[in-house]
Structure 1
Amino acid sequence: MKARTVADAITALYCRLSVDDELDGDSNSIVHQKEMLGEYARKNNYNNVKFYVDDGYSGTNFNRPAFKELIRDIDSGFVGTVIVKDMSRLGRDYLKVGYYSEVYFGEAGVHFIAVNDNVDNTIENDSDFTPFRNIMNEWYAKDTSKKVRAVIRAKGMSGKSTCNCPPYGYVKDEQGNWLVEREAAGIVKKIYAMCIQGYGPMQISRKLNEMKAISPVVWKKKVGWKYKLEKVERPELWTVTAVRRILSNPIYLGHTINFRTKKKSYKSHSVVFLPKEDWVIFENTHEAIIDQDTFDTVQKLREGVKRRLSIDGEMSMFSGLLYCADCGAKMYLNRHRGSEKDCFNCASYRKEKGRGCTSHYITLHAVEDIVLYDLQRVLGMARNNETEFIAMLQEKSKRMTKKDLSEKERAREEAERRIDALDRIIQNLYEDKVNGTLTEERFIKLSKNYENEQAELTNKLKILTNELATAQKETADLNKFMRLVKRYTEITELSPEIVRTFIDKIYVHKGEKAQGGHRQTIEIIYNCVGAVPEMENNRTETNSLDNKSGL
């Protein structure tokens, strides 16, 4: 710490107000603190006054901008005196408050005064009660935190959103309902569209900054939320984190989702993300910005997929979709001067330099031709022969028919009723034994039989429940695929959106020589339904490509 002269030393008047302190009325307001501290400094001849104000910051957190500035000025030797209204204004963490008031200020040669608590670190016996006062201030913060959490919990369980500020794209009306804000909602849709086109969060944030799209920070200020732009170094810029949050936020589906996160403790502002089973979801509470199918497609794309731009800044529509059929590794696109030579190679082959796997070389042009042909084939079957197409997929995956589902559901209900009945029977047997109407030996024999039957039924019920859940998911997936098919009347050329909407993975097999040419098998795995074979009346041996000049 630097030495200072008493004559030019700053008298620091520190004021703090948290959101919770505002509930106490005007007594703790920043205006009131400033008036009180200014008057105290004048009456006691403290000169060179400077206010340090933290408005809206918790006393349990010492990472406050004005407080940090005060500490820097003390370390630089500029401050001679620090005056606060009371100890709670300095903070509500008794360990840290004790350190600053009893150790730090003294070692820095700073005169510390808490006016209402009669604390003065230059008077030896004046602060005997101060540690207890600091503990009580922290207890107050802890108690307030418990009450606030209880109120938030009750609010969240009632179906109301627990976040004060709606996410980017929504605003509140006077009744607290969420309404779509069109400008930001349009940008949210662009973000999802760019993700489907193959761009990752970093590339999306760059494009948004190039477009000069309004950032979440600036937008909050624009729509009237209390937000300090000075907290952020470049508030006008989009960040990777902001894009990721938008891409993963199910609130854009039109649902209210509470308790996705929590704070570690009332002292910490660190946020912990909770598992999905702890969320409380209320569906269709406000207008959706993103539909369910688009959201699901984006979540699937973002599961461990890293997308890379080429040297010329282009993004392949197949990025992250091609896999080696033999070793399971991803296949990466190699760009060349002529686009006709752009090709995919197995990642294992590239890493091991030919020792781990073979190249599985295939040109980008060949992949485009195969995928376009197969998409036209599958969508044509689905549109022109919907009933037969659905029946074929059900047969392929052994999906249950409606009759099978009804029978399974009936069997599950019967098992549940019998298990409940056995509980009552066993209870009655026990009462008969206690009353003396049933011998111990007879009770053991009967109860054992019933318990064995109950155990078998419980196991059967578990199997039936799992089978029904699987069947319901498969039915939902098939219905979703048919919805996607009906979005597109006819596909004449590929686009990133089409490819990523329909295709989950593409497996590339090793090329083989055939009749003086080249033959290579490609397996296309579709979202929701998996691989789609030919229908009986139009079946071919395999989905492959013959090319005399090689792929």
Structure 2
Amino acid sequence: MYDALYARQSIEKKDSISVESQLEYCRYETHGEACIEYTDKGFSGKDTNRPGFEKMMNDIRAGKIKRVIVYKLDRISRSILDFANMMEIFQKYHVEFVSSTEKFDTSTPIGRAMLNICIVFAQLERETIQKRVTDAYYARCKHGFYMGGRIPYGYRLINTVIDNTRTSMYEEVPEESEQLKLIYSMYADTDNSLGDIVRYLNEHQIKNLRGANWNTARISEMLRNPVYVQADIDVYQFFQNQGANIYNPASDFTGYNACYLYKGTVSTSRKQSDLSDKEIVLAPHKGFIPSKTWLACRIRCLNNRQSTKTCKPKNSWLIGKVKCGKCGYALTIRKAKTKWRRYFVCSQSGSRGSNCTGVGCTVYADVLEEYMLGAIKERLSEFQKLSCLSDTGEEQKHMTKKIRLTQIEEEIEKLLSRVSGAGSVLMKYIDEKVSELDAERKALQEEIVTANVTDTEGRLKQITNHVKTWETLSFEDRQAVVDTLIKVIRIADGNIEITWNI
């Protein structure tokens, strides 16, 4: 039987001890007796998935090893569970364990106790390092630094300096971006499916310039990516309504920069279409897809995740627009067990860790659909024209007003959050400030509505005709009308609040 010398080094750094140096310490403990050396270079101690370690454990089970010698405890394991399992195997095969620099005696209870205490601190150190690396990663993300990964189609990588730090950023590749503009414009038209786009590209011999084949999954990924969008206040409000954490203020969303989407620091098992707790950061590069086109495609992708192309009993053309007025999460469709009837329920009600108790009433899908169709008809009767701002100067003024409106709403929310526990003097200030902001908000809303009612008589006529022939419309056409007219529908305790796009 032999002594086993084990050494591990995750990465080579100046301040870390090399594998050869570790083995040199371990050889001293053998006093010249025969030994077998096992090494793992470039492997972390967070688990036991290491070839050298596994070979050593197999030799222990084969009865070849009498003693395992390491330079330091954390070289062999930094996990309490893994270490406990390893020590159980050592005891089963009567294998001694020696740390050359810590001098543990596993033959005594106090020695084993000290060994367990040390492994606890080894795991704490590993988790602390992981947390520090994660925090550093997201700190760099929020500054718009390039974080590696695959370069999106339509861009190339160039060197740049951000906040006196050398990094990289994306630059548009015109040949690729023209293909993406075509794809976005086609999908913004609800008559085209992802399959239609793939067939069109192939039939017209429009090749992917990076050698890959066009497919629906790849195109869908491109359509969801905010790295292409000219991010303006409408994009800001979209991500805000979807529950994403937005790092930059609304005033920075000027329609120039694109966005980075990160998964966020909160671990979640939600689907990719769910943007709750995701991180949105303005990127240093310029977007090349207009916000209206990008939002039309992104909302369509979102709705496709929540519904099918045909209106089956479990679906509703209101899916994706209806939110819980209490927690803000989407309402989903369920089917009653006793009879065929659909109803909306809060997706978070009853979920683990959620305090939402639901919307407070039964929301039957057919009743809500009938109510919303009536509301749409009434809304359309109030307007003769829809928004279409062609003049650049007027469009910029309109966008500035929308940014200010978003800022006012955020300021009011912050002030109201300070009401609890406020004294009389502070309450007076809050009341006056909220009243002042509310007056400004109403004035801006009137100006925005007035600006929206300009110059698209034909478009309004088209939508009005759709509504008149509602029963003959396809499921997707109904969703397209709702997407055009309605931003969000919130329901709580029998009250319905509709936020319109017009």
Under TM normalisation by the shorter chain, which class is it? Answer: 0.3 to 0.5
Give the structure-2-normalised TM-score. 0.47
Q: Which structure has the bigger radius of gyration? A: 1
